[in-house]
Amino acid sequence: MNKRQLLQATALLCTVNFVGLAHAQTPVKFQLDWRFEGPAALFLQSEAKGYYKAAGLNVSIDAGTGSAAAVTRVASGTYDMGFADLAALMEFHANNPDTPNKPVAVMMVYNNTPAAVLALKKSGISKPADLSGKKLGAPVFDSGRKAFPIFEKANKVSNVAWTSMDPPLRETMLVRGDIDAITGFSFTSLLNLEARGVKTEDVVILPFADHGVKLYGNVIIAHPKLIQENPNAVKAFLSAFTKGAKEVMASPASTIETVKARDGIINVPLETRRLQLAIDSVIASPDARREGFGQVDMARLNQMASEVTQAYATKTPVNANALWNGSLLPSKAELNVLPPAKK
């Protein structure tokens, strides 16, 4: 073989290897819990920076319609992975004991539930005890409403009456005075109230996490078939996600453009604030700093399983060990992503 033939053969081999690598990209369909809002940047940053591709993955990220839907879509195999409230995953497991391919949580993101009770100061509500005998409102599927019995028990609240509505009407009905308080994600309902003309200083927020309720929030979930047949793909996803999430937490304002790229009509300052609120309240919380980003404390997880079993009145008891798999998490060094604690 002469020099020219050798160069041609080398070029052909490189081309074959490149094509092989391209074909080796593992497709991963990912379902968010909600619309393309501020917190979605945690996932979109790694897509925008090419971290998923560099890890050998072809990741597609879709907006969602709620945690319960995200769990169901991953369970059905429509999506390989997703982002959902851990309580919704627990409920699915416990109410569908004979269903195969139940999704499994593989990484903790919201170390504390974002659920909170919100009221207007003029209502006279300033602490949990003030909720007794009041009229609360939320959609029937709202995670804060479903977990309210846990909050109720921890704070000795009684005689609460519930009003149901569609999500867009929740804050509107509170402003109109149709209800005394609402449950919802703190960083979402607060901004929705402000959008309806309420000043921040006129809102009372009672986060579940600050009032005796140590429920975990949203987790990354995966289809068990993916975990069994291609655990390296899950590992690669979590590692790439963590890299992007670190950048988002270090500079929310500079990474929010990834969300705007997916939904051009978002209010950038508003979504930047929503993202920062999420980081401060549930992602980089004191509990997250103590346990470590991405991880769980099994004693706390088992306690949550017991509380969800009772509050959600599930068909069978929640088995925490069956729905959590932390063996695919990145190294502790990679998980060291939380921003410095605010003084």
Mean pLDDT of 99-126: 97
Query: What span, in angstroms and rounded, lies between the C-alpha atoms of 265 and 214?
Result: 35
166 and 230 co-located in one domain:
no
In Å, what is the CA distance from 5 to each residue of 2, 14, 19, 202? 5, 14, 21, 78
60 and 127 co-located in one domain:
no
Of 179 and 3, which is predicted with more confidence? 179
pLDDT confidence bin for 14, thresholds 50/70/90: very low
Residues with Cβ within 8 Å of residue 329, at least 6 apart in sequence: 106, 107, 238, 294, 295, 335
DSSP, res 294: B
Q: Which two tokens stand for residue 71?
A: 């769990």
Q: What is the pLDDT of residue 54?
A: 98
151 and 169 co-located in one domain:
yes
240 and 101 co-located in one domain:
yes
101 and 120 co-located in one domain:
no
Q: Is position 338 within any domain? A: no
Q: Is position 267 within any domain? A: yes
221 and 102 co-located in one domain:
yes
Q: Is position 63 within any domain? A: yes
pLDDT (tens digit per residue) in 263-309: 999 999 999 999 999 999 999 999 999 999 999 999 999 999 999 99
Mean pLDDT of 47-56: 98
Q: Which two tokens stand for residue 221?
A: 């979930």
220 and 107 co-located in one domain:
yes
Is the pLDDT score of 2 beyond 70?
no
103 and 239 co-located in one domain:
yes
Q: Is position 76 within any domain? A: yes
Is the pLDDT score of 228 beyond 50?
yes
Q: Is position 2 within any domain? A: no
248 and 106 co-located in one domain:
yes
Is the pLDDT score of 6 beyond 60?
no
Domain count, the chain: 2
Query: What span, in angstroms and rounded, lies between the C-alpha atoms of 64 and 62?
Result: 6
pLDDT averaged over every residue in the chain? 93
Q: Is position 79 within any domain? A: yes
Is the pLDDT score of 154 beyond 80?
yes
Is the pLDDT score of 41 beyond 60?
yes
Is the pLDDT score of 3 beyond 80?
no
Percent of the chain with pLDDT over 70: 93
Is the pLDDT score of 186 beyond 80?
yes
| CATH code of the domain covering residue 279 | 3.40.190.10
Is the pLDDT score of 23 beyond 90?
no
Is the pLDDT score of 76 beyond 60?
yes
234 and 298 co-located in one domain:
yes
Is the pLDDT score of 17 beyond 80?
no
pLDDT confidence bin for 24, thresholds 50/70/90: confident
Query: What span, in angstroms and rounded, lies between the C-alpha atoms of 213 and 188?
Result: 19
Q: Is position 329 within any domain? A: no
Query: What span, in angstroms and rounded, lies between the C-alpha atoms of 164 and 145?
Result: 10
Last residue of a domain, one of 155, 181, 210: 210
Is the pLDDT score of 1 beyond 60?
no
Q: What is the residue range of 53's domain?
A: 24-111+216-323
Q: Which two tokens stand for residue 233?
A: 């793909």
Mean pLDDT of 171-180: 98
Q: Is position 152 within any domain? A: yes
197 and 260 co-located in one domain:
no
Q: What is the pLDDT of residue 229?
A: 97
Amino acid present at 92: F
Q: What is the pLDDT of residue 21?
A: 39
Q: What is the pLDDT of residue 19?
A: 36
Q: What is the pLDDT of residue 343?
A: 75
105 and 225 co-located in one domain:
yes
Mean pLDDT of 313-336: 97
Last residue of a domain, one of 163, 178, 210: 210
Q: Where are the beta strands (DSSP E) in 121-217?
A: 135-137, 161-163, 181-185, 203-207
